[in-house]
């Protein structure tokens, strides 16, 4: 767990004028974010190529079984790069046995605003066993489609990078940042390292180079402000769109 007090006091991260409204004091917000980060950084599951998430109405066994199938289907489509792959009967049969491949799963609640009234939405997040899924793909003759040939090895090499995200005005903004990154197929893990002002420092565990992730963020809520910042220990600067 990060040292919250040290994180607030660090001065090595880039700084920019706060856009927080006068109602929310920057110091108070920073401390709230730091506390939230300290809790979430230990609870966040590793997301990436072998994970999927599906909205659910309840935690009933039957609904969980169907959600796991949908989550595995996401993984298979992601790994093969073929959105129509489930039309193959043998692939559909393999996906129907999703419970054999699941490594762990958990339920997460999101607070959303519906007409101004906050509501809870439930979703199932599943992590599948990499070796088991890879073997399934090989058995189906699909391993090469995932990039296992001698032509994509550098692009799939795991690596860690450090980014600084500015423009956070609330804990909900922090949740948006983490959610956006965790759902990206290139991201295997997200861990918060520090919080100061209206920004947070994150360590990202990626499959492939950082430039590939930054390109994939185009058009989303996270904007790249500097892909090569002159700041020691920071690989990229991002900004959360309001």
pLDDT tens for the chain, 242 residues: list them.
333 223 323 334 444 433 333 334 444 445 555 554 544 443 344 446 788 889 999 999 999 999 999 999 989 988 887 888 999 999 999 999 999 999 999 998 877 666 667 778 899 999 999 889 999 999 999 864 444 444 373 345 678 999 999 999 998 899 889 988 987 878 888 999 999 999 999 999 988 789 988 988 888 899 999 999 998 999 999 999 98
Distance CA 239, CA 229 (A): 13
At 218 the pLDDT is 84
Distance CA 222, CA 73 (A): 27
Distance CA 172, CA 159 (A): 28
Distance CA 171, CA 195 (A): 12
Both structure tokens of 212: 């590939």
Cβ-count burial of 154 within 10 angstroms (0-12 exposed, 13-18 middle, 19+ buried)? Answer: exposed
- The pTM of the full predicted model, rounded to 2 decimals, is 0.48
Query: Do 38 and 4 meet the contact criterion of CB atoms below 8 Å apart?
Result: yes
At 160 the pLDDT is 92
Both structure tokens of 93: 């049969």
Query: Do 44 and 191 meet the contact criterion of CB atoms below 8 Å apart?
Result: yes
Q: What is the dihedral of CA 117, 120, 121, 127, to 10 degrees?
A: 140
């Amino acid at each position: 767990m990060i040292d919250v007090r040290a994180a607030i006091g660090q001065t090595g991260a880039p700084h920019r004028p706060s856009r927080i409204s006068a109602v929310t004091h920057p110091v108070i917000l920073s401390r709230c974010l730091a506390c939230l980060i300290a809790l979430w950084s230990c609870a966040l599951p590793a997301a990436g190529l072998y994970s999927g998430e599906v909205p659910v109405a309840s935690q009933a066994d039957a609904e969980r079984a169907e959600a796991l199938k949908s989550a595995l289907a996401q993984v298979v489509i992601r790994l093969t790069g073929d959105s129509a792959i489930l039309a193959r009967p043998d692939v559909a049969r393999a996906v129907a046995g999703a419970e054999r491949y699941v490594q762990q799963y958990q339920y997460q609640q999101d607070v959303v605003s519906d007409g101004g009234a906050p509501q809870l939405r439930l979703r199932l997040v599943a992590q599948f066993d990499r070796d088991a899924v890879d073997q399934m793909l090989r058995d189906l003759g699909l391993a090469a489609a995932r990039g296992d040939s001698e032509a994509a090895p550098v692009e799939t090499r795991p690596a860690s990078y450090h980014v600084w995200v500015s423009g956070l005005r609330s804990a909900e903004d922090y949740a948006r940042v983490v959610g956006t990154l965790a759902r990206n197929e290139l991201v295997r893990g997200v861990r918060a390292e520090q919080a100061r002002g209206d920004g947070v420092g994150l360590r990202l565990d990626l499959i492939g180079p950082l430039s590939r992730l930054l390109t994939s963020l185009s058009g989303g809520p996270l904007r790249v402000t500097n892909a090569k910042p002159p700041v020691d220990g920071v690989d990229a600067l991002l900004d959360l769109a309001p």
